[in-house]
Amino acid sequence: MPPAALVDSHCHLDFPQLAEAEADVVARAAAAGVGRMVTICTRLRNEPHVRAIAERHRGVFYAAGTHPMQAAEEPMASVAQLEAIAAHPKCVGIGETGLDYHYTAESAAVQKESLAIHIEAARRTGLPLIIHARDADDDMARILAEEHRAGAYSCVMHCFSSDRALAETALELGFYLSMSGIAAFPRSTELRAIFADAPRDRILVETDSPYLAPPPHRGKRCEPAYVALTAAKGAETMGMSYEAFCAQTTANFDRLFAKAAAWSAAHAGAEAGAAP
């Protein structure tokens, strides 16, 4: 019996640790049941390369933005630039963007400016915003809520590992929480409790590979196939069977990343002889 179908909602296939074996990485993911993944562009100057990866693989989609840790190093994105990138049929998200005060607190003002631009692009394109938040929970919650009141948008809190207050704010706004390998670490009991209390229809899974490999690979290079290990811990955390958890998170992905779901459905139909 083939493994249950999963989606890795956030990975970095263009990073050197994975790029050197791109085809093998994608093949291993498929063997583990991970038929689709979203590879994330973190510097817009790299967007053509990331786009090309998505174009090479049927199950790979992409998102583009300026990572908050690079916001002060890169040219400021414009809404028009992000809208133009989002027109590509396999571009399915805006970001990752957000706030990171752990290593780059000195660029907080620039990060906030960049975040506002990405939020407006998400509003205009209808694509989900992909948020990175680290050591900036209060500002993150305030900005997301204020911006949502100014004009609705959809959003996923990628690699969620913040406190319960930010989780509750995100969920109240209708956003999604994405579970990474961090949730499978033995000491992440409080984080697992947050996920256990969240609505099942608002949970995604991801690797953030090549980082944050779940046990038993912790400390080693991560890759999209390992999302199955995080999903197993997610199923245990939420009291679900593995198959049910995979089906639920896949349905959640298709709801949030509707453009990816529509592309997959259209091309599956074409393969079956239906109209493209």
Pair of tokens at residue 143 = 């900005």
Q: Which residue has the tokens 């414009």?
A: 78
Looking at residue 1, its pLDDT comes to 66
Residue 106 neighbours by CB distance under 10 Å: 10
Print pLDDT tens along the chain (276 aa).
678 899 999 999 999 999 989 999 999 999 999 999 999 999 999 999 999 999 999 999 999 999 999 999 999 999 999 999 999 999 999 999 999 999 999 999 999 999 999 999 999 999 999 999 999 999 999 999 999 999 999 999 999 999 999 999 999 999 999 999 999 999 999 999 999 999 999 999 999 999 999 999 999 999 999 999 999 999 999 999 999 999 999 999 999 999 999 999 999 855 433 222
How far is Cα 155 from Cα 171, in angstroms, rounded to an integer? 10
Sequence ranges of the domains in the chain = 6-94+177-271
Q: Which residue has the tokens 């003002």?
A: 109
Q: Which CATH superfamily groups domain 6-94+177-271? A: Metal-dependent hydrolases (3.20.20.140)
Q: Is 118 helix (H, G, I), strand (E, B) or coil?
A: helix
Sorted by sequence, the CB contacts under 8 Å of residue 176 that are 6+ apart come out as: 128, 155, 156, 157, 170, 202, 203, 204, 252, 256
Looking at residue 275, its pLDDT comes to 28
